[in-house]
Structures are given as structure tokens and as C-alpha cells.
């Protein structure tokens, strides 16, 4: 690559971790917060169960989950939490599947090609857009992501969801939790994972069930075998112990301790509204920069639908936009690689199935000052890579 004369910014982000999952740890985190983790102890011991219950109680308090909803920690991250409920409860009535990015598409594949349900409607939109929410039929079950992690598109609120619905609303909220206003009155099943929502560790999912969701599990028996890690009922009754610190399988007590630390930090910040305000402030840094920058734009064109956590950006400079798709993707990757090598930003490339571009996490554990330090580097990397590209083409 030819040398170019652009001067690098003087200040780097203090924390270069802008990955959309696992996300940055909360400010001030060190490994010392895990010093008292119950390693080497049974999760079924009295202290072990108490610590798991602490994580559940903190989830309820910080996320403001209604008192009559159940909260459980389940295997296999957010994916496991979603799959567990889909396999256990779908088929009792028709299903509307909403998809506008890769994870929503994954749930469509599971329901249509693996569960092979007969009565499925799929409402789709391309990356950067939402399906027509007015077409959703709430006499049916509805499966959707609150925030499209790979597209940067979120539902604006819960107003589109019918209060008098007959079906269940099943919401993958993994990149929305603790940063966006989840309307629990409109949600029957909510799932998320610590590694996105709180900068926690992977492998564990959180499953939140409304009384209506519990009633479905107790009244409907699917005509398919369920593996042990999907079973939430016994004798037609919910296994309440799963939601009272007796997990389906063995959790990592290190991960439990880390999640407890993150949620205690969240409460110390001022709770849910404070965390949402942090994410909003982070997003504003990027939005202000995009508004003043001519080479980049949001993948989500409608401002009302733009995510304040997984911020997805397209490179719209005319010289780059004129390239074929493969060359555009290569150019975006060159910016990502340059910033990675400089120790400025790690893991900010677009998701592999999404349009080429950048994806920057702006959730609650990110500091606005680090995003403010990042934006000049984005401009610098773009200028360097564009100059090198034009030089090579000359």
C-alpha cells in the first residue's frame, strides 16, 4: 500500500473494543471482580444457588421485569433461549415470523425447515428496513427481534403490538436489553444474552416468560421429541425450579459472577433509564458525526428505526459506491483492518451476511468519549484507504 500524507489523529479511544458481541466490559472492569466467584463449588450448593438467584433478582430489578414473569438462565446463549421456546411451544396456532436481518432469518429457517410447521406466514424486509408491522396478525403467535443486531434496525416501540392479542409475542431482545425500552406488557417471551446486553461472558441465555407463555407451556404438548435442555415442564406443569436458580444444566459460576457485577454496576449508574440514556448519548456521538460526514451513512434510512446499540453504517462515497460489491466489501474490510492494526477499534466490520460496511457497538457499557475519539480515526482510515485505492488504480 502506497504511503499517503494524511496525519493520524493524536488521541486514540481508551478502550478500542467496539464489537457487537461479545461487547465491551463495563467501564472500570478488571478480572479482580471475579475473585469471589464460586469456582470449584456445585451450582446446586446453597451458596451456588444463592448466587444464581442473585443474578435472577438483579435481572428483574435492573430490567424492570414484572413480578409475575418468570426469569431463567438457560444453555446456549440467546440462541438457546429462543430455540428452547420455539421448539417447546410453537404449533398451537399459526405463526407470523418477522425477519429483516440475519438472526430473524435464522428463526424463519428453524420454524419452516426444522419444525416444519404448516401455518407460517413470513413478513420480510431487506437490510436497513422494517417489514410492514401493520400486517402482523396477533391472533397468531408472532416471532421477532426487537433490535436487528446485523442491520441496525429496531422496532420503534411496542405500540404496534395488540394488547388484546390471542397469540404469543416471542421477542429476541438480545441487542436491545438494557438499552432500549422493552414493553413487557406487550411481550410474552423475552430472550437475551449477557455477552451483548451487558458485556458479559458467552454461553448462557436468559429466558423471561409471561403468565400467558407459562400457560401455553402447560397446556400444549408438541408432537415432536424435545431434548432435555429444551424441557420446561413435567407432568403438564412448569418446572418452576428452573426459574428459581436450579438451572437446566451446569452454568459457569465465573459467568454468573461476571453478570452479577455488570448488573450491580448498572444499578449504581441509576438503573435502566440511566443505561438507556448512556446508549442514547453514545448513539448521538455517531449520529452527529454521520450528519457531518459525506462518505458514510446509516444502513437504516428511517431515523425512527435506527438502533442505538448495533450501529450499522454504509460507505456512500461516490468513488467507492461505484465499485462492484466484492470491491466495496474489500474496501470496507481495509478500513477495519487499518483501525485494528492501529489498536484504535476492534471488530467493527459489518456482519458476514449483511451489506458491506461498518458496525459499531454503542450500547450501555461503551463510553461516549471513546466514540468521540474513534470518529476522527474513521475519517483518517477512510482517507488513507481511498487514496491508496485511487493511487493503485492510476
- Say if residues 77 and 192 touch (Cβ distance below 8 Å): no
The domains found in the chain, sorted by start residue, are: 31-267 (3.40.640.10), 271-393 (3.90.1150.10)
pLDDT tens for 193-222 read 999 999 999 999 999 999 999 999 999 999
- Say if residues 233 and 239 touch (Cβ distance below 8 Å): yes
C-alpha separations of 64 from 59, 61, 171, 177, 234 in Å: 8, 5, 16, 11, 29
Write the DSSP symbol of residue 114.
I
pLDDT tens for 328-384 read 999 999 999 999 999 999 999 999 999 999 999 999 999 999 999 999 999 999 999
Nearest C-alpha neighbor of 97 from the set 84, 87, 88, 106:
106
Taking the C-alpha atoms of residue 300 and residue 283, their distance in angstroms, rounded to an integer, is: 13
pLDDT for position 394: 78
pLDDT tens for 304-316 read 999 999 999 999 9
Taking the C-alpha atoms of residue 255 and residue 251, their distance in angstroms, rounded to an integer, is: 8
- Say if residues 251 and 39 touch (Cβ distance below 8 Å): no
Write the DSSP symbol of residue 364.
T
pTM of the model: 0.97
- Say if residues 323 and 151 touch (Cβ distance below 8 Å): no
What are 340-346's contacts with CB under 8 Å, separation 24+? 342/8, 342/12, 342/377, 343/12, 343/16, 344/12, 344/13, 344/16, 344/374, 344/377, 345/13, 345/16, 345/18, 345/374, 345/377, 345/378, 346/16, 346/17, 346/18, 346/19
Say whether the peptide bond before residue 22 is cis (omega within 30 degrees of 0).
yes
> Is residue 4 over pLDDT 80?
no
> Is residue 68 over pLDDT 90?
yes
Nearest C-alpha neighbor of 154 from the set 178, 181, 134:
181
pLDDT tens for 227-283 read 999 999 999 999 999 999 999 999 999 999 999 999 999 999 999 999 999 999 999
Write the DSSP symbol of residue 70.
E
Write the DSSP symbol of residue 159.
T
pLDDT tens for 124-170 read 999 999 999 999 999 999 999 999 999 999 999 999 999 999 999 99
Dihedral sign, Cα of residue 96, residue 101, residue 107, residue 110 = positive
Order of strands, edge to edge, in the sheet holding 141-145?
A: 70-75, 204-209, 189-193, 169-172, 141-145, 95-99, 120-124
- Say if residues 352 and 20 touch (Cβ distance below 8 Å): no
pLDDT for position 2: 37
The position carrying cell 499517503 is: 4
pLDDT for position 1: 34
pLDDT for position 5: 53
Amino acid at each position: 500500500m502506497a504511503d499517503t500524507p494524511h496525519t493520524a489523529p493524536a488521541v486514540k479511544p481508551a478502550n478500542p473494543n467496539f464489537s457487537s458481541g461479545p461487547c465491551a466490559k463495563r467501564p472500570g472492569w478488571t478480572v479482580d471482580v471475579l475473585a469471589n466467584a464460586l469456582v470449584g463449588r456445585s451450582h446446586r450448593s446453597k451458596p451456588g444457588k444463592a448466587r444464581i438467584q442473585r443474578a435472577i433478582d438483579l435481572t428483574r430489578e435492573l430490567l424492570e421485569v414484572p413480578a409475575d414473569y418468570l426469569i431463567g438462565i438457560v444453555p446456549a446463549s440467546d440462541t438457546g433461549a429462543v430455540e428452547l421456546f420455539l421448539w417447546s411451544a410453537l404449533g398451537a396456532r399459526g405463526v407470523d415470523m418477522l425477519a429483516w436481518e440475519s438472526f430473524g432469518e435464522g428463526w424463519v429457517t428453524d420454524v419452516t425447515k426444522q419444525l416444519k410447521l404448516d401455518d407460517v406466514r413470513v413478513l420480510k424486509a431487506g437490510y436497513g428496513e422494517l417489514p410492514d408491522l401493520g400486517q402482523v396478525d396477533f391472533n397468531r403467535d408472532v416471532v421477532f427481534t426487537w433490535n436487528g443486531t446485523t442491520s441496525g434496525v429496531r422496532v420503534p416501540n411496542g405500540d404496534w403490538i395488540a394488547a388484546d392479542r390471542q397469540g404469543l409475542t416471542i421477542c429476541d431482545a438480545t441487542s436491545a436489553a438494557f438499552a432500549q425500552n422493552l414493553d413487557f406488557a406487550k411481550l410474552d417471551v423475552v430472550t437475551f444474552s449477557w455477552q451483548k446486553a451487558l458485556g458479559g461472558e458467552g454461553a448462557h441465555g436468559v429466558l423471561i416468560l409471561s403468565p400467558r407463555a407459562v400457560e401455553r407451556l402447560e397446556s400444549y404438548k408438541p408432537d415432536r421429541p424435545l431434548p432435555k435442555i429444551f424441557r420446561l415442564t413435567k407432568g403438564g406443569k412448569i418446572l418452576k425450579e428452573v426459574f428459581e436458580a436450579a438451572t437446566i444444566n451446569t452454568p459457569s459460576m465465573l459467568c454468573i459472577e461476571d453478570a452479577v457485577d455488570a448488573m450491580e454496576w448498572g444499578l449504581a449508574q441509576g438503573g435502566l433509564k440511566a443505561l438507556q440514556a448512556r446508549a442514547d448519548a453514545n448513539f448521538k456521538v455517531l449520529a452527529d458525526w454521520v450528519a457531518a460526514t459525506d462518505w458514510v451513512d446509516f444502513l437504516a434510512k428511517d431515523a425512527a428505526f435506527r438502533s442505538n446499540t448495533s450501529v450499522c453504517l454504509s460507505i456512500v462515497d461516490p468513488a467507492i459506491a461505484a465499485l462492484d460489491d466484492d470491491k466495496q466489501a474489500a474496501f470496507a474490510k481495509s478500513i477495519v483492518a487499518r483501525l485494528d492494526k492501529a489498536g484504535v477499534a476492534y471488530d467493527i466490520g459489518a456482519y458476514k451476511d449483511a451489506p458491506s460496511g461498518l458496525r459499531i457497538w454503542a450500547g450501555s457499557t461503551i463510553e461516549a468519549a471513546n466514540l468521540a475519539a474513534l470518529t476522527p480515526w474513521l475519517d483518517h482510515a477512510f482517507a488513507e484507504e481511498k487514496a491508496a485505492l485511487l493511487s493503485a488504480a492510476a
